[in-house]
């Protein structure tokens, strides 16, 4: 019975490792996906900003999505013209992206250590 619980725990850890690997691949793909979003298409869409739709004035966040897409395309002049907060937002996004990748990488590495049979040392004797 104890062996089946250990097997279940090791299977759970393997599936958890797969989850972290999928998350890491998805996180790495985000800038690539953003690069292929056409900015002219984004400009032609209706805004979803509730503040702008109700008042007709831009809020502090209006244009942030277009600014981030422009910054991903390395067009910082346009990014600044869409929203001047890109000066703070884009470096924070890059920092968070790198931090998330490192966190997921460490989680994948920790899962490698548990697969080496860490539970096999703790099999209770009857």
Q: pLDDT tens-digit profile of 69-84?
A: 999 999 999 999 999 9
Q: What is the pTM of this model?
A: 0.68
Residue 125 burial by Cβ neighbours in a 10 Å radius (0-12, 13-18, 19+): exposed
Q: Tokens 């900015």 appear where?
A: 39
Helical H segments across 36-85, by residue range: 39-44, 50-55, 64-72, 76-82
CA distance 78 to 84: 10
CA distance 17 to 12: 9
Tell me: the pLDDT tens digits for 52-67? 889 999 899 988 989 9
pLDDT score recorded for residue 43: 82
pLDDT at 102 over 70: yes
pLDDT at 126 over 50: no
């Amino acid at each position: 019975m104890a062996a089946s619980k250990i097997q279940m725990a090791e299977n759970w850890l393997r599936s958890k490792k797969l989850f972290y690997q999928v998350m890491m691949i998805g996180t790495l793909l985000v800038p690539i996906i953003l690069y292929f979003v056409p900015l002219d298409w984004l400009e032609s869409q209706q805004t979803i900003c509730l503040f702008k739709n109700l008042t007709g004035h831009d809020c502090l966040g209006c244009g942030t999505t277009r600014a981030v897409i422009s910054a991903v395309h390395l067009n910082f002049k346009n990014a600044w013209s869409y929203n001047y907060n890109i000066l703070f937002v884009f470096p924070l996004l890059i920092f968070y992206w790198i931090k998330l990748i490192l966190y997921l990488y460490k989680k994948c590495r920790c899962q490698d250590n548990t697969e080496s049979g860490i539970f096999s040392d703790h099999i209770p004797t009857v």
